[in-house]
Amino acid sequence: MARLPRLPDLLTTANLACGVGSILLASQGELTAACWLVFAAAVFDVFDGLAARALGGGSPLGAQLDSLADMVSFGVAPAFALFTTASVLSGITTGWTAYPPFSVVLEQVGASAWPVFTAAIVLVIASCWRLAKFNLDTRQTSGFLGLPTPSNGLFWVSMTLGSTGVAVHPGPGHDQLIGIARSVLGSPVVLLALALVLAGLMLSELPLPSLKFKHFRWPGNQVIYLLAGLGAVLVVLYGILAVPMILVLYLLSPMWGRLFKPQVARDT
């Protein structure tokens, strides 16, 4: 007898709906709304985990559903937004919605189209492999091994929004940060190199802390509190462009996190 969906499964489904909506909007040139939907998907991704723990733990169905939703929302959707934005900034296309056949693009811009095309594919493949590989990894009980797929997805959509100046706060050097985002997305070779680095980090076994609270005391949550505090300051100063900087701090946390008791969560 089929059971009714549990609350965590419904929240995961909302995550998936946001990812699909993001792809559809990006295909119509609505990049700002498409990127915000990825952030909305991240909110649902957090709450489905909280709901599962509140109800005594997740189910095997929920774990599989979560990975499938994350593949769409943090793998395919960010890659789609990235490809759309980078194609314009690098001169492959001249408008958000006017896309010639790819064979025509290659004739017009030659080899510069391939790095952008490859970068988007690499990010989707790495996201898929990470979700499949680490779903079977029993070592991740209180932390992550490798860059979580949602973190990678949020990095790319924040770079997309930041390159247009949307939701960027006027902190010190914000114009230079916008310029960096535009330069990265507008330089096919640099874009591909960065995509390969992040893909490698997703598939690596770099130990990274979970950002999920099991309790709210300081001991055991030092890294989370410090990241949250520094992240809040960066968000106030730079808005959406704080996300890439927070990601860098997160990737460096194994070094300064050694000052505290190490932690180890599923990649949900």
Residue 187, in any domain of the structure: yes
Q: How many domains does the chain have?
A: 1
Q: Which domain holds residue 110?
A: 7-259
Give the tens place of pLDDT for each residue, 62-72: 778 888 999 99
How many angstroms separate the CA atoms of 181 and 218, rounded? 35
Find out whether 52 and 73 touch, Cβ atoms under 8 Å: no
Q: Which of 66, 196, 210 is nearest to 145 (CA)?
A: 210
Please compute the mean of the pLDDT values over residues 161-174 and round it to a whole number: 89
Residue 208, in any domain of the structure: yes
The residues pairing with 143 across neighbouring beta strands, listed in sequence order, are 209
Residue 265, in any domain of the structure: no
Token pair for 237:
């100063």
Residue 144, in any domain of the structure: yes
Q: What is the pTM of this model?
A: 0.84
Of the listed ranges 51-60, 81-90, 119-128, 245-254, the least confidently predicted one is: 51-60
Please compute the mean of the pLDDT values over residues 150-159 and round it to a whole number: 94
For residue 77, is pLDDT > 80?
Answer: yes
Give the tens place of pLDDT for each residue, 125-135: 999 999 888 77
Residue 206, in any domain of the structure: yes
H or E segment at 128? helix 113-135
For residue 237, is pLDDT > 90?
Answer: yes
Residue 2, in any domain of the structure: no
CATH number of the domain bearing residue 227: 1.20.120
Residue 216, in any domain of the structure: yes
Residue 266, in any domain of the structure: no
